[in-house]
Chains A and B, each alone.
Chain A
Amino acid sequence: MAKLSLSNITKSFGDQSVLKGVDFGVSSGEVHALLGANGAGKSTLMKILSGDYERDSGTITIDEKEQFFKTPADAKLAGIEMVVQEVDTALVSSLSIAENVTMNSFISGTSFFSWNKRNKKAKELLRRVGLHIDPTFPLSHCSLAQKQLVLIAKALSSDISFIILDEPTAALSKKEADHLFTVLRELQKDGVGIIYISHRLPEVLTLSTKITVLKDGYVTLHEDTDSSSTKRIVQAMLGNDLVELLNDEEKRVLGKTLFEVKEFTVPATNEKISLSVKQGEIVGIAGLVGAGKTETARAFFGADPSPDPIIMNGNKVKITSPQKAIASGIGFVPEERRKEGVLVDYNVIENLTLPVLNQFTKFGLIQKEQEKKEAERWIKQLGIKTESPSLLLNHLSGGNQQKAAIGKWLLNDGDVFILDEPTKGIDVGAKQDVFQCMKDLADKSKGILYFTSEFQELLAFCDRILVMYDGKIAGELTKEEATMEKIMHFATGGHYGTVRS
C-alpha cells in the first residue's frame, strides 16, 4: 500500500498565480478523478507531480517521505508515470511497438539486449493492457486508441505505483473507451493508484472512487464518488453561478432549404450522404470517433473535395476548394482548433478578417483602421475576451479561440455553418458561449450543421439529429423523439458489438 499526497502546493508563473494551496492525493487501488474547467490548474498540478515543473511551495510525500522532483526522471524513479493526452508526443512512430513499450529499458537498461527478450517482454506488457497485436509492427500501424494502450503498457514496464491519465478518452470511441476502463480496473486491482483527468462526467462517476474539483487554483470539491453527483461537480467547476446546461425549448421557425446534398460522395470514406438544412435550423450530426463525421464535414467545405455537387439555395454548385465553398456562403469550423481553425501566431484582428480580407483592401493595400474597427465590433458582439484586438490568439483561452474560429465566418456573412466538434477541449463556460453563438446564428436564419460526439449537447438544442455510423447516415431523429439511448443505438450500428475501431 503506497500513499501519495500533495499538500498546500502553490505555483505561479510571473505575476500569475496558478495554484493557490492545493491538497491532493491518491493511494494504491484508488481511482482519483481530477476535474476542473480549462485554466483551473489541473495540468500544472500534474506537471508538478510528474517532475515537469518545480513547485513554489508545499510538500509532496510518498508514504510520509518527502519527495523533490527536479526532472521527469525523478518522478519516474519514485514510481509515477504519466500518460499524456497527445499520445503521439510520447511515442516514436518509426520504431516498432515493442521498442516503444520497452523504451524505458533502452534508456536505463544494459547496452546490449536481445530482440527476442524485448519482444517477449513487450508482448507480456501488451497482454496486460488487452492489446493483442504483433509487437514487431511499427507503431505507425496503431490506431489512436491502440497507441494509448501502448503508452500505458510502456508505463507498466517500469515498477509503477501511480499513473496519471490526462483526458484518455477524448478521442476514443465508446467501445475503445470501455476497453480502457477494463484495463484501468485491472490496474486498480493490482494496486496501482490512478489519477484520472477528464471532462466527461458520466465516465468519471462510474470509474472513480474519489473526486477532486479545481477552480482557479483552489480545490472546490473533494469527496467520495459515491456521495457525489453531476450537479455537485458542475457546481464546483463553475463556482457559485451554476449555469443550467442550455436547454432550448422554444421551437424555431424554419425557412426554405439552404443546403442540400443528394447521394453526395465523401471521398475519404467513399460513402454516399444525403441531407439538408433549412434556414434557422440546427441539424446535429452525431457519431462516435471513426464514424466519418470529420471526413464528411471536410468534403462539404471542399477541404477534401468531392466529385459530386451540393445544392446551395436551389443552385447546384461543385465545391472544388475551400475558396469555392466560402464564395457560396459556407463557413467551416474544423475539429483541430489550434492546427486548422485559427492561426495562433496571429492576432485577433488578422484571424477574424482573414476570409474577407478583400473587403478591407483598396488597390491591394489593407485599410488597417477600417479592418480594426470592424474586428472590434465583432469582438464585442461575439464576447471574445481579449485584452486588445492585437493580442496573439495564442494568449487567448481555448473557448475564446473557438469564438474567433466561428466569428471569422460571421464577417463573411455566410448562410451555412459547418461546425466539427466545436466544443472539444473547452470548458463548460466557454461551451455555453459557443452554444449561444450557434443559437444566435439560427435566429438570424442561418443553417447550421453541427458535427459532434457529445450527444448530450445535441439533445439540448438541435432541431433534428442525424446519426452517422461507418460513414453513412444510420438514423434520423426529430427533437421530440431523440433520446440518448436512441442516438447511441444508431451510432453503434444498432448494437454495441460492431463499433468500428
Chain B
Amino acid sequence: MAQYVHKETIKDNVKGAPFQFQEKVFPFLYRYGTLLVILLTIISFSLANDKFLSYQNFTDILRSVSIITLLAIGVTISLIVGGFDLSVGSTASLATVTSAAALVLYRQETIVAILIPIAIGLIIGLLNSFFVVKVKLPDLLATLAVMYIINGLHLTFTKGYSIYNNMPLGEGGTAPGVFLPSFLFIGQGEIFSVPVPVIIMLIAVIVVHFILQQSRFGRLLYITGGNEEAARLSGVPVQRYKMYAYLLSAFFATLAGIVLAARIGTGQVSAGAPLLMDGVAAAFIGFSVFGAGKPNVIGTFFGAVLIGILLNGLTMLNVPYYAQDIVKGAILIGALAFMYYEKKK
C-alpha cells in the first residue's frame, strides 16, 4: 500500500514533466547542446579568470583554433566520403618543415615556400587514395601506414632537428636564408586587427561549407559516403570522389602546416602530431552541432573552437598540458554519446 501511495505522489508532482523533457528538452539539447557547452565554458572560465574575456585573449584563441580548424576541415572531408585520414598530422609536419627548409636552407621566395609543400601534400593525397581506392586497403590502416612513412620522411630530411633562422649547418657556417616577413605575415600578421590565420580559416570554412551544401561536387561527396554501392549504381564515379576527398584532406593539412610554420617562425619537427588528435576530435564533435549527425564543416569549426577555448582556459588556470587531454577526451565522449544515443532512438 505504501508503495502505491508513493508512486501516485511522484506522478502528481511532476505531472507532464517527463513528457516535456522527452519532447522538448532533448531535441533542443541535441541541436544546441554543443553550443551550450561552449557558452557555459566561456562563462565559467571568465568567472575564474578576469583576463579570459578580453579581445586579446579571444584573438589568441581563434589564432590557435585556426590551425586546428584548417586541418580538421580535411579530416571532415575524408569522413564525408566514409573514409578516415590519419595522415593529416604528419602531412602538416612535413609541410611545416618543407616550407621552412625552402626559406631558410634554399633561400626561396614566399610563393615557392607555399607551393612546394602544397605540391608535396597533393602527392601524399594521391598516395592515400591509391592505397584506399585502388589497392582497397581499409582507410584507417592505409593512412596509418602513410602517416608513419611521412613522419619518418620529414625526420630523415631534418635529421630530427628543427629549422630556424641562422641555424648552424653540418658543413660549417649558418643557413643562408631567413623566414621572410611576407611569409611570417601568413601566421603573425593582422588585417584590421584580425589575425591573418583567422581570416584564412573563416574563408576556408565558408567556402568549403558553401561548396558542400550547394554544389554537385559536395552532394556527391556526401552521397558517396552515404552508401557507396548505391551511389555507384546510380552512376556516381565513387572512386574518383574518394580520391578528391583524400586530395582535399592532404591539401588542408598542408595549409595548416604552412600557417603553423609562419606562426611560430621555425620549421619545428613533429609539430603536426598533436594537431591530428585535436583535428579528429573537432570533426567528431562537429557531428553533434545543430544535430547534423554527420560530418559538416560548420560543426567542425565549432568543435575546434570548443577545444581551443578549453585549452586556453585550462592553461590560464594553470592546468598542466598533459592533464588537458583528459578534458578533451571527456568532451569528445560526451558529444559522441549524445549523437549515438539520439541516432539509436
Complex CA–CA separation, A365 to B219 (angstroms): 10
B114-122, B201-209, B220-228, B306-314 - interface stretch: B220-228
Residues of B within 8 A of A248 (CB): none
Interface string of B127-168 (1 = CB under 8 A from A): 000000000000000000000000000000000000000000
Closest approach, in angstroms, between the C-beta of B223 and any C-beta of chain A? Answer: 6
Q: Which residues of A contact B227 (CB under 8 A)?
A: 339-340, 343-345
Partner of B219, one of A301, A334, A340, A357: A357
Is there a chain A Cβ closer than 8 Å to B229's Cβ? yes
From B234-242, B284-292, B329-337, the one touching the partner chain is B234-242
Which of A354, A361, A364, A368 interacts with B234 by CB under 8 Å? A354
Q: Is B51 an interface residue (CB 8 A)?
A: no
Q: Taking each of B216, B229, B235, which has the highest tally of chain A beta carbons within 10 Å of its own beta carbon?
A: B235
CA distance A334 to B216 in the complex (A): 24
Contact flag A322-B232 (CB < 8 Å), given A345-B226, A346-B223, A354-B223: yes
> Does B315 touch A at the CB level, under 8 Å?
no
Partner of A358, one of B214, B216, B223, B230: B216
Q: Does B231 contact A (CB under 8 A)?
A: yes
Q: Give the contacting residue for B233; candidates A301, A344, A364, A365; CB below 8 A.
A: A301
Interface check B46, CB cutoff 8 A: no
Does B230 contact A355, Cβ atoms closer than 8 Å? Answer: no
The docked-state distance in angstroms from the alpha carbon of A325 to that of B234 is 10
Residues of chain A lying within 8 A (CB to CB) of residue B174: none
Q: Assess A364 versus B229: contact at CB under 8 Å? Given A326-B235, A354-B223, A355-B234.
A: no
B216 near A322 with CB under 8 A, answer: no
B106 on the interface (CB 8 Å rule)? no
A282 to chain B, nearest CB (A): 22
Name the contact of B216 in the complex, choosing from A301, A342, A364 (C-beta under 8 A).
A364
Within the complex, what minimum Cβ distance (angstroms) separates B301 from chain A?
22
A336 closest partner in B (C-beta): B229
Q: Quick one: which of B214, B230, B237 contacts A343, CB cutoff 8 A?
A: B230
Pair A346/B216 contact, Cβ less than 8 Å? no
Contact B233 A343 (CB under 8 A): no
**Taking A322-B235, A323-B235 as contacts, is the C-beta distance between A364 and B223 under 8 angstroms?**
no
Residue in B closest to A298 when the chains form the complex, CB atoms: B233
Residues of B within 8 Å of A332, CB to CB, are 233
Q: Which residues of A contact B235 (CB under 8 A)?
A: 322-323, 325-326, 354-355
Chain B interface, >50% SS class: helix
CB–CB B216/A343 < 8 A: no
**In the complex, which residue of chain A has the Cβ closest to the Cβ of B218?**
A366
Q: Mark A148-171, 1 if CB is under 8 A from B, else 0.
A: 000000000000000000000000
CA distance A325 to B236 in the complex (A): 12
- Measured CB to CB, the closest approach of chain B to A259, in angstroms, equals 18
* B21 at the A interface (CB under 8 A): no
A36 within 8 A of B: no
* Residue in B216, B226, B237 whose CB lies within 8 Å of A366: B216
**Chain B residues within an 8 Å CB radius of A334:** 233
B236 touches A354 (CB 8 A): yes
In the complex, the answer to whether A341 meets B230 with C-beta atoms within 8 Å is: yes
Most A CB contacts (10 A, CB to CB) among B220, B226, B227, B237 go to B227
Chain B residues near A303: list those with CB within 8 A. Answer: 232-233
Binary contact track A340-384/B, C-beta < 8 Å → 1, others 0 = 111111100010001101100100111010000000000000000
Chain A positions 282 through 319: 1 when the CB is less than 8 Å from some CB of chain B, otherwise 0: 00000000000000000001010000000000000000
Which B residues are in CB contact (< 8 Å) with A199?
none
A365–B215 CB distance below 8 A: yes
Instruction: Check: A408 CB closer than 8 A to any chain B CB.
Output: yes
Q: Which of B216, B223, B226 contacts A361 (CB 8 A)?
A: B216
User: Which chain B residue lies CB-closest to A358?
Assistant: B216
**Known: A339-B227, A345-B226. Contact between A350 and B219, CB under 8 A?**
yes
Chain B residues positioned under 8 Å from A354 (CB to CB) = 223, 231, 234-236
A173 to B214, CA, bound (A): 47
Q: Which of B214, B223, B229 is in CB contact (< 8 Å) with A340?
A: B229
B217 within 8 Å of A by Cβ? Answer: yes
Contacts of A365 in B (CB 8 A): 214-216
Q: Is A322 within 8 A of B234, CB to CB?
A: yes
Question: Shortest distance in angstroms between A294's beta carbon and chain B's nearest beta carbon?
Answer: 12
Question: Can you list 7 pairs linking A and B with CB atoms under 8 Å apart?
Answer: A322-B233, A322-B234, A340-B233, A343-B230, A350-B223, A365-B214, A366-B214
List B residues at the A interface (Cβ < 8 Å): 214-217, 219-220, 223, 226-227, 229-237
List the 9 closest A-B pairs by CB distance, nearest first.
Answer: A326-B235, A361-B216, A354-B234, A323-B235, A364-B215, A343-B226, A355-B235, A343-B227, A365-B214
Given contacts A350-B223, A366-B216, A408-B234, 6 further A-B contacts (CB under 8 A): A301-B233, A322-B232, A339-B230, A342-B230, A343-B223, A365-B216
